[in-house]
A and B are shown apart, each in its own frame.
Chain A
Amino acid sequence: MEGVRGDYLRFLAQFGIEPRKPPANAAELRIDMLLRMIEAHRRAGDQAAAAYLDELLAKERAGAADEQRHPAEILLERSRRTVVAAIASSAYADALRHEVFVGDFPTGSLNAEARRTEHGYLILVNSGLSYFFRQVLVALCMRDPVGAEELDLIGQAIAAYVLHRDPAAGPQPVAGGPAAMLSHALQRACGDFVVAHEFGHLLAGHLDMPAAQSRMLPVGDGREVPVIDKSWQQEFEADAIGFSLLLGGRSLHAIKQIIDEGEHDARVAGQGVELLSALAAPMIFFILESLVARCIQEAEGAQLSSAMTSTHPPSRDRLAALYEESIKAMGMYLRYANLARPLVSEEAAIVERVHALLRKAL
Chain B
Amino acid sequence: MQPPGPDLLSFSEDDLLASIGESLVGRSALPRSRAELIALGRAWLQANLNKIRELVCPHAPQLLKETNLEKLVTTIADMLAAVFYSVAPVTVAVLIVRVGVEKLCMPGPASESSDG
Interface residues of A (CB under 8 A from B): 13-17, 107, 109-115, 122, 124, 165, 194, 197-198, 201, 206-207, 217, 219, 223-228, 230, 234, 238, 289, 293, 296, 300, 304-305, 307-312
Contact = CB atoms under 8 A, between A and B. Distances in A.
Interface string B25-61: 1111111111111011001101110000000000000
Nearest to B49: A16
B33 A17 contact: no
Contacts of B86: 14
B30 A111 contact: yes
Contact of B28 (A14, A111, A225, A226): A111
B105 interface: no
B13 interface: no
Nearest to A110: B30
Contact of A14 (B10, B18, B32, B47): B47
A143 B23 CA distance: 43
How many of chain B's residues touch chain A, expressed as a range?
A: 20 to 34
B19 A308 contact: no
A194 B29 contact: yes
Contact of A311 (B23, B24, B31, B39): B31
B29 A308 contact: no
Given A225-B11, A225-B18, A293 B23 contact: no
Interface of B: 7-8, 10-11, 15, 18-19, 22-37, 39-40, 43-44, 46-48, 86, 88
B104 to A, nearest CB: 17
A225 B15 contact: yes
B46 A223 contact: no
A223 B15 contact: yes
B36 A124 contact: no
A311 B22 CA distance: 11
B48 to A, nearest CB: 7
Given A224-B7, A225-B18, 5 more contacts: A110-B30, A111-B28, A111-B29, A111-B32, A201-B27
A257 to B, nearest CB: 31
Nearest to B16: A225
A114 B27 contact: yes
A228 B22 contact: yes
A312 B30 contact: yes
Chain A CB within 10 A, most for which of B30, B86, B88? B30
B26 A113 contact: yes
24 contacts: A13-B47, A14-B24, A14-B48, A15-B40, A109-B32, A112-B30, A114-B26, A122-B26, A165-B36, A201-B27, A206-B27, A219-B15, A225-B11, A225-B19, A226-B88, A234-B27, A238-B27, A305-B33, A307-B34, A308-B33, A308-B37, A310-B31, A311-B32, A312-B28
